Structure 1
Amino acid sequence: MSTDLFEIVANYTYDWESWFLPDGQVRWVNPAVERMTGFSVDACLTMPDYPLEIVHPEDRDAVRALLKSALEGTSGNDVEFRIQRRDGQVGWAAVSWQPMIGPDGERLGVRTSIRDISWRKSAEDALRLAKVDAEKADRAKSRFLAAASHDLRQPLQAVSMYVSALARREADETSQEILADIRTCLDAGNELLEDLVDISRLDAGVVVPEFSDVAIADLFEMLEKSFQREAQDRRLDLRFVPRSIFVRADHAILARILQNLLANALRYTERGRVLVGCKVRGDAAIVEVWDSGIGIAPEYQDKIFEEFYQLDNPARDRRRGAGLGLAIVRRKAALMGAPIALRSEPGKGSVFSITLPIAQGNEAFEVIREDGQLDLTGCTIAVIDDEPHQLNALETLLRACGGQVIASNTIDGLVNRVAASQVPPELAIADYRLQAGARGSDAIAAVRFKVNRTIPGILVTGDTDPERIAEAEASGCRLIHKPVDGASLVRTINQLLGKVSSAA
């Protein structure tokens, strides 16, 4: 093809085309340059330093180096730079270039092709701003949830301690029924707050899986004990089909995932049954939760994994939860690299599954048994909380379980009482946020210094702000969230003191 024919064809191309001779002088420019830059072809051909006068001043050195490299025989594609149009406006362009070789092998120079990408950069900027706005909104949501959760946890925490203390006293049948109803209400509130804590911990990035060999049969046994009563109350047939295999997973995370899936299955199944089973496919185990519930239409099967999304619950019936369970399932499963799958048909039911690698060994993580010791006889515990009701409730519970308590609402007061006590504390419990900006971790550190040894510490918090959670996790103390179940707290104390192992 002759150079004249080439120029005729190139004159009709949409992109801004140029031909540079081997000595770097411009030989030809097509008319598209005027559409993109406002400069005519004649103006370009007479520019002393074409095309650098059209390039944004901050990008000229880079384009000069690119042209030098091109004239040395290189080629390239889609390199971005800014142009400064004749009217002063700034736009974005992307250049591609190739060496031009004649039919006899002689070097004819370099051809450049420049495309206007201003629209693409505008779209990228809009996307970046939208991402920033979304991240701000997400942080605002986390702060709101943290504040609301903290304020709700304070009264629930005190009520929970008092109920646990009352339950240890003799009472008539009517009183026991009232206590049971109070526990049911507390459990519902606690479930919502637990979900908020889970989301906040995931947002904070402090959830790190600790993998071990988990026995499926033991996990199913624990789940059956936890959910059989609820299934009976709903008149549903709940069945487990265990297998004698171990999977590689974080026991606590896997248990939480299956608890959420089971709770959802029972919640959305009015009649029939819920089945939990496990099948093996090669080196993987697939744990499945089947239900004969309402089913999920295909267009909603992605939406149900979004936070606060619920099917067929416009009135926000709290008996169906807060809409966080499946969002937690998806995010926690992702932490373990375990795929979550869903098969469902409206009116016939659903099957949720999680796929896990089969463990090569058999080191089972033993679940904590519900019959762990709840006796604190002989234990001396230091306690600090700046709210009188919270402090009194915690003292009441610990003493009801036989423990000796050294308590105060200030760090100085607690340290002085520890110094005056004939028996030093074996463990310290502190509310995370104290008066005047002090923290529970500071109080525990002060008690440890006073007794001259590192005793176990428990931080109790109603805070779900991701930054606060990360700070508390870094303190080296056991972190538990309000409202705390009395039996769970006592069990944790005994575990930390070595009286009941975590595998007991």
Structure 2
Amino acid sequence: MSDKNKNRESGFAGVDDLFDAAPDATLLVAIDGRIERVNAQAEKLFGYTSEELIGEPVELLIPQRFRNSHLKYRQEFADKPRIRTMGKSLDLYAQQKDGTKFPIDVKLSPILIQDRTIVVAAIRDITESQKAARDLMEANEQLRAEKNFSDNLISTQEGIVLVLDSKGRITLANPYFEALVGYKVEQLLGLDWFATFIPEEERQTIQDFFAVVMREGINEGYVNAIVTKNGAQRLIQWHSKTLENSDGKIIGVLNTGYDVTDQEAAALSLREAKAEADRATAIKSRFLAAASHDVRQPLQSISLYLSILSKRLEKTDDLEIVNKMRQSLDSMGEIIDALLDISKLESGYVVAEPVKFALQTILDQIRADNAPYAEEKGLTLRIEPTLLTALSDPALLARIIENLVGNAIRYTETGEVSISCIADGQNVRVEVSDTGVGIPPEALETIFEEYFQLENPVRDRSKGLGLGLAIVRHIARLLEHDLDVRSRPDHGSTFSVTVPLVRAAIETESIAGPAHTHPSRDQKIKVLIVDDDPAIVDATKMLLEVEGFDVQTALDGGEAISQIEGGLRPDIIVSDYRLPGLNGIEVVRHIREISGEDLPTILVTGDTSGKDIEAASLVRCEVLHKP
């Protein structure tokens, strides 16, 4: 070792222990910038060994782009050496052996050793502290932004923002609430919410509710009244959520609310209007129940008298007048039927009563009712026989098919109208097809609307009111049956209704019933007419007598039963369904019980609801609808 190095080592001997124990990377640097000593922390920080650093200029540890400026700063320090902390006003960077650059703080302390000025440079890597400082700055900025946002949100909220502490005292309120209740914000803070703003009769309930929120943490949609400064009450819908401190302890409740006073008043008015409408509908339903029978009664009488008159007249001109009168009467009857039916369906008066039944039974009746009209127009009414059993209300389903067939006949000039039943999985699709005018695509939806008719711009009443398909749609919805239509203009249309299918055969009562002795050809068939309308009784009696029947009459069920008990044995019973006291079905059952025979019966009704088809439980019974 040279004398110079020996002297240098001997000069450092007094500071060795302190130098090596320093927590920071520490260099001893000569005034000319040469490194004379490094501690272990410096070796670790920069990645050099002490042998690699000693004798090298300190600029070795500085990034290339900062070295020139560092030479300038080092010269200034050499001219006026003093203790200085670098990095407070400057961003300083160091460079490791592998080229990695990192920010540093440097503290320079000049010391005098053997008449030489040596600079002790304590260097600290501030990468983590800078990151922490940036994170803290960003967090503070975020907090300031969030506070500004929340302040703006609360102040501009078009609704109540209200914070209560755990005792129910107001700790925050927004300007909206201030304007609503008439207090300034500074007046609100600290007020007891329950004592100040809750009506006395609701106070305990709301306090209990507040306790529930404090326990369960959240509630939405609760509505209660609050009292404003001037004594007015407003209804508020609340959304409440508890607030917690950093330890998870509940310290209060954040409440947002909306004034629903006007909406509640409107809803009350709507409920009152609906109740009034329901009352009116109930009155309408009771009227319709009576009207459907009473309105049809005079039409039935007129129809019967016209039938009698047509049989008595001989002149062709007179018969033509009678036929025109009958056509007008038929049109009137159809219109009244349609209006009454649509009203009953819309008012909910008609109730579906689904049962299992053979589809062929209603198809046979539809054939009997419509074949004459089809034949009159020169059309073929083709009904494909079926053995399928359906689950539906037979009377209402029959009404759907009847209306579809009637429409098809009305709008078909040549060809045929057909009915077919097609099994489709768990359902049966009843299709009514025609070769008529067809329906344009744009009208396929509107044809089911009330009063809509194709090709009837001048409202020809012989084509009805356009309610037939509307009634079909109402009944299909009531029965929950799908309704469909396919059509090609000038080629015809197919309407279908899909009905639940019963796969297993069902037992049906034999229509034959017990054997009944028919009168001989030289005897008149005895008919018992039971109806409480004298005009109906008189007209029916006259019509049947013209046809050669022996007719007996009764104006109520009691009179009819008395005649049977007195020995009368009719061959056929023709009874109105709606009678004073016992209804027509009950009268027929009494008569059959007394006579011991299932007398053939025709039950006449002006009602169209499915309830009256309870008559189907009577064997050898047909139901006719007025008029």
Q: Same fold (TM over 0.5)?
A: yes
- Checking the alignment, whether the CA contact within 8 Å between 1:406 and 1:417 is kept in structure 2 is no
Q: Does 1:266 align with 2:413?
A: no
TM-score of the superposition, structure 1-length normalised? 0.70
Inter-partner Cα distance in structure 2 for 1:240 and 1:459: 26
Matched, 1:393 2:539: yes
Q: Over residues 60-90 of structure 1, what are the superposed CA-to-partner deviations in whole Å (9 max), with x where a residue is unaligned? A: 4443322121122331111222344445554
**Distance in 1 separating the partners of 2:200 and 2:594:** 66
Which of 159, 162, 183 is equivalent to 2:302? 159
Moved more, 175-184 or 33-42: 175-184
Structure 2: unaligned runs, 5 residues or longer:
1-142
User: Cα offset for 1:158?
Assistant: 2.0
- Letter in structure 1 aligned against 2:439: G
Identity of aligned residues (%): 30
> Which among 75, 83, 96 is matched to residue 218 of structure 2?
75
Instruction: Please list, as runs of the form range in 1=range in 2, the aligned pairs for 1:27-426 lying within 5 A after superposition.
Output: 27-48=171-192, 50-51=193-194, 53-55=196-198, 59-132=202-275, 134-135=277-278, 138=281, 152-162=295-305, 174=316, 184-199=327-342, 202=345, 203=347, 205=349, 207-215=351-359, 219-220=362-363, 222-234=365-377, 239-240=382-383, 245-269=388-412, 274-291=417-434, 292-295=436-439, 298=442, 304-311=447-454, 313=456, 315-343=458-486, 350-363=493-506, 381=528, 383=530, 385=532, 387=534, 389-397=535-543, 402-407=549-554, 414=559, 418=563, 421=566, 423=568
Give, in whole Å, the separation in 1 of the partners of 2:315 and 2:206: 87
8 Å Cα contact 1:277/1:289 also seen in 2: yes
Amino acid at match of 1:208: A
CA spacing shift, 1:355–1:445, aligned 2, 3 Å: closer
CA-to-aligned-CA distance 1:420-473 (integer Å, 9 cap, x gap):
95548897956857xxxxx35499999999999699999867689x9xx99xx6
Contact 1:415–1:447, Cα closer than 8 Å, also in 2: no
Deviations 1:114-153 (A, max 9, x none): 1223354345345435534554665566577667666643
RMSD between superposed Cα atoms in Å: 5.1
Counterpart contact for 1:213–1:364, Cα < 8 Å: no
- Using the TM superposition, name which of 139-148 and 192-201 deviates more: 139-148
Cα offsets for 1:348-370 (capped at 9, x unmatched): 7654321112212123879999x
Give the letter aligned to residue 92 of structure 1: L
The aligned counterpart of 1:21 is 165
Residue deviations 1:18-65 (CA, integer Å, cap 9, x gap): 2222233322222221344444333433533x1564345554444332
Which region of structure 1 is more displaced relative to structure 2, 29-38 or 196-205? 196-205
Offset from partner CA, 1:465-487 (integer Å, 9 cap, x none): x9xx99xx6xx996xxxxxxxxx
Deviation at 1:318, TM superposition (A): 1.9
Scaled by the length of structure 2, the TM-score of the pair is: 0.58
Question: In the superposition, relative to structure 1, how do residues 239 and 423 fare at CA in structure 2: closer, same or farther (>3 Å)?
Answer: closer
Q: 1:380 to 1:228 in 2, by over 3 A?
A: closer
**Structure 2 counterpart of 1:14, one-letter code:** E
Quick one: higher RCO (CA 8 Å, sep 6+), 1 or 2? 1
Deviation at 1:225, TM superposition (A): 4.9
Q: Secondary structure at the match of 2:403?
A: helix
Equivalent residue of 1:160, what SS? helix
What is the alpha-carbon distance in structure 2 between the residues aligned to residue 301 and residue 128 of structure 1? 36
**Secondary structure, counterpart of 1:358 in structure 2:** strand
Note closer, same or farther for the CA distance 1:118–1:279 as it changes in structure 2 (3 Å cut): farther
Partner deviation per Cα, 1:178-222 (whole Å, 9 max, x = no partner)? 776665554434333433454465446354324113335x65555
CA distance in 2, matches of 1:422, 1:295: 60
**CA contact 2:486–2:493 (8 Å) conserved in 1:** yes
How far the C-alpha of 1:319 sits from its partner, in A, is 1.8
SS in 1 for 2:352: coil
User: 1:331, CA displacement in angstroms?
Assistant: 2.7
How much does 1:257 deviate? 0.5
Q: In the aligned structure 1, how far is the partner of 2:485 from the partner of 2:500?
A: 19
